[in-house]
């Protein structure tokens, strides 16, 4: 008999480790925050567990790893879904972000973290404003996170008019804020929080700022996080100024590296993708957002170059099941083949693939002995999941975010009975609701076509 802190039992176990198939009637034993067994259920008496959870109505799998997101961006929920990529950013988000206070970002971060946990996301890679306020919530909630301050040297709100005037002081100030965040938070929360340097995008940072950001990341020993080839406007700006694609541009600046997470690559050229592959830079694929913009990245070419790839949510709709289904459906439609991507591949991209993107695959992303105990339990006793036959497609194509009932991170239960255990979610939601009329009015004044209700200029 072995003493363990937590014993997790499940009707089906999806280890996502190479060579280990789906297992029926399985269990995961956890001691000191790490997995000591992940496999068939052992005979009674094998474990003396301080607590046992799960059972025959659950599936156990690694916690989802969200390798590119903006947790506090929920202020823009429903405001960019009917826009092209350029309009969503330039006409809506960039014009309002400057008017959102740090306390407001903190409110959004708290509700956003609760949403991540409820969806089974146990690790995030976030780049946004007020990173220290997000870090405080992440520490309190028990989430795992890489966090970066959003660094840029332009007036984002002016980009809609084509004004790319650069302010060296603005860029330097935002980079200093990012460096200070890394120095304070990298390795905090027993190692659950890491800092990154977040050069916002290829076009919103000048060459000097990109180089300085890369130099600071190297000095600090941390990775970077960059939006690249995200919109047609970005491509036009980089081509006009540099005569090449945005990833070729980053390569020329010696910014691309194995620890630089690249989000989107939607408009990347062959030469851009070759530059990414040559640098072994990883890619965060945000499959839910692309169909809304009417343009899908060439995922088949990205995977064909062996570029490390993982699934991510980007912003607002943080549902990994939706992300997996979008990736599957898009690939099959693009290539006209039902075998273009399998459900098993999609689940791997949402777990181990995304962990590889973040450089965390030795510690999380699969359920293996010695790894950190990050896992979730999905409730199978739901009408839309029954009868449940246990294959990958049964989970990937039919489960929903609200089927996740338990999330364990570092061996501690961060979500139980579908609710965060360490956040006051009702209070967070109430505070957000109090502020929503103000945001509604502001969005309406900016010309939002998706705002209705009281205190709205368009409704009176």
Q: What is the mean pLDDT of residues 263-285?
A: 98
Position 454 scores a pLDDT of 59
At 397-419, the pLDDT tens digits run: 999 999 999 999 999 999 999 99
CA distance 259 to 320: 23
- Decide if 344 contacts 8 (C-beta within 8 A): no
Find which of 9-13, 96-100, 231-235 is predicted with most confidence, using mean pLDDT: 9-13
Q: Which residue in 31, 75, 28 sits closest to 50, CA to CA?
A: 31
- Decide if 256 contacts 279 (C-beta within 8 A): yes
- Decide if 351 contacts 375 (C-beta within 8 A): no
How far is Cα of residue 4 from the mean position of the Cα atoms in its chain? 31
Q: Which residue in 394, 357, 403 sits closest to 376, CA to CA?
A: 403
User: Predicted confidence band at 83 (pLDDT cuts at 50, 70, 90)?
Assistant: low
Three-state DSSP at 421 gives coil
- Decide if 247 contacts 228 (C-beta within 8 A): yes
SS3 per-residue string spanning 132-156:
HHHHHHHHHHCCEEEEEEEECCECH
Position 78 scores a pLDDT of 87
Position 80 scores a pLDDT of 79
In the chain, the domains with their CATH numbers are 2-62+368-419 (2.30.40.10), 64-357 (3.20.20.140), 424-460 (no CATH)
CA distance 163 to 152: 14
The radius of gyration of the chain from alpha carbons, rounded to an integer in Å, stands at 22
- Helix 168-185 with 131-141: angle, nearest 10 deg: 20
CB burial readout 198-218, b (16+ within 10 A) else e? bbbbbbbbbeebbebbbebbe
Q: Which residue in 53, 71, 26, 72 sits closest to 415, CA to CA?
A: 53
Q: Does residue 316 have a pLDDT over 70?
A: yes
- Decide if 87 contacts 333 (C-beta within 8 A): no
Q: Does residue 365 have a pLDDT over 70?
A: yes
Q: Does residue 209 have a pLDDT over 60?
A: yes
Q: Does residue 211 have a pLDDT over 50?
A: yes
At 27-42, the pLDDT tens digits run: 999 999 999 999 999 9
Q: Which residue in 64, 439, 88, 455 sits closest to 294, CA to CA?
A: 88
Position 86 scores a pLDDT of 63
CB burial readout 428-454, b (16+ within 10 A) else e? beebbeebeeebbbbbbebebeebeee
Position 149 scores a pLDDT of 98
Position 446 scores a pLDDT of 83
DSSP for 203-235, written as a single string:
TTS-HHHHHHHHHHHHHHT--EEEEES-SHHHH
Q: Does residue 116 have a pLDDT over 50?
A: yes
CA distance 158 to 53: 53
Q: Which residue in 164, 141, 169 sits closest to 154, CA to CA?
A: 164
Three-state DSSP at 67 gives strand
Q: What is the mean pLDDT of residues 72-95?
A: 81
Q: What is the mean pLDDT of the chain?
A: 95
User: Predicted confidence band at 292 (pLDDT cuts at 50, 70, 90)?
Assistant: confident
CA distance 4 to 31: 5
Q: What is the mean pLDDT of residues 219-243?
A: 95
Q: Which residue in 142, 66, 131 sits closest to 420, CA to CA?
A: 142
DSSP for 432-453, written as a single string:
HHHHHHHHHHHHHHTT-SS--S
- Decide if 128 contacts 146 (C-beta within 8 A): no
User: Predicted confidence band at 321 (pLDDT cuts at 50, 70, 90)?
Assistant: very high
**pTM assigned to the model:** 0.96
User: Predicted confidence band at 448 (pLDDT cuts at 50, 70, 90)?
Assistant: confident
User: Predicted confidence band at 13 (pLDDT cuts at 50, 70, 90)?
Assistant: very high
Q: What is the mean pLDDT of residues 115-138?
A: 98
CA distance 4 to 35: 10
Q: What is the mean pLDDT of residues 267-286?
A: 98
Position 460 scores a pLDDT of 46
Position 444 scores a pLDDT of 86
């Amino acid at each position: 008999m072995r003493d363990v802190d937590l014993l997790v039992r499940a009707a089906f176990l999806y280890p996502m480790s190479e060579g280990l198939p789906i297992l029926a009637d399985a269990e995961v034993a956890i001691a000191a925050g790490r997995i000591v067994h992940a496999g068939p259920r052992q005979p009674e008496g094998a474990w003396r567990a301080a607590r046992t959870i799960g059972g025959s109505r659950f599936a156990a799998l690694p916690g989802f790893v969200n390798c590119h997101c903006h947790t506090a961006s929920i202020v823009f929920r429903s405001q960019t879904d009917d826009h092209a990529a350029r309009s969503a950013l330039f006409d809506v988000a960039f014009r309002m972000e400057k008017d959102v206070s740090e306390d407001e970002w903190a409110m959004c971060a708290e509700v956003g973290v609760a949403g991540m946990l409820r969806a089974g996301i146990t690790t995030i890679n976030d780049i946004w404003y007020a990173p220290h306020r997000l870090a405080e919530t992440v520490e309190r909630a028990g989430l795992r996170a890489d966090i970066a301050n959003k660094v840029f040297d332009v007036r984002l709100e002016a980009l809609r008019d084509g004004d790319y005037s650069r302010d060296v002081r603005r860029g330097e100030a935002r980079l200093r804020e990012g460096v200070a965040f890394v120095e304070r938070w990298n390795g905090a929360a027993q190692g659950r929080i890491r800092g990154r340097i977040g050069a916002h995008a290829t076009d919103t940072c000048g060459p000097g700022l990109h180089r300085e950001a890369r130099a600071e990341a190297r000095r600090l020993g941390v990775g970077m996080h960059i939006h690249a080839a995200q919109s047609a406007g970005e491509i036009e700006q980089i081509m006009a100024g540099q005569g090449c694609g945005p990833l070729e541009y980053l390569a020329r600046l010696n910014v691309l590296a194995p620890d630089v997470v690249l989000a989107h690559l939607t408009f990347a050229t062959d030469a851009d993708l070759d530059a990414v592959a040559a640098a072994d830079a990883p890619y965060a694929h945000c499959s839910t957002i692309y169909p809304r913009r009417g343009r899908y990245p060439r995922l088949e070419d990205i995977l064909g170059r062996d570029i490390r790839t993982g699934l991510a949510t980007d912003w607002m709709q943080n549902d990994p099941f939706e992300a997996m289904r979008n990736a599957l459906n898009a690939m099959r439609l693009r290539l006209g083949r039902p075998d273009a991507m399998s459900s098993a591949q999609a689940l791997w991209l949402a777990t181990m693939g995304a962990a590889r993107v973040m450089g965390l695959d030795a510690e999380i992303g699969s359920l293996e002995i010695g790894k950190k105990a990050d896992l979730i339990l999905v409730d199978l006793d739901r009408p839309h999941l029954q009868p449940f036959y246990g294959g990958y497609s049964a989970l990937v194509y039919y489960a929903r975010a609200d089927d996740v009932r338990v999330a364990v991170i570092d061996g501690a239960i961060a979500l139980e009975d579908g609710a965060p255990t360490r956040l006051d979610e009702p209070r967070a939601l109430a505070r957000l609701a109090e502020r929503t009329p103000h945001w509604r009015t502001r969005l309406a004044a900016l010309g939002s076509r998706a705002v209705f209700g009281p205190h709205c200029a368009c409704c009176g």
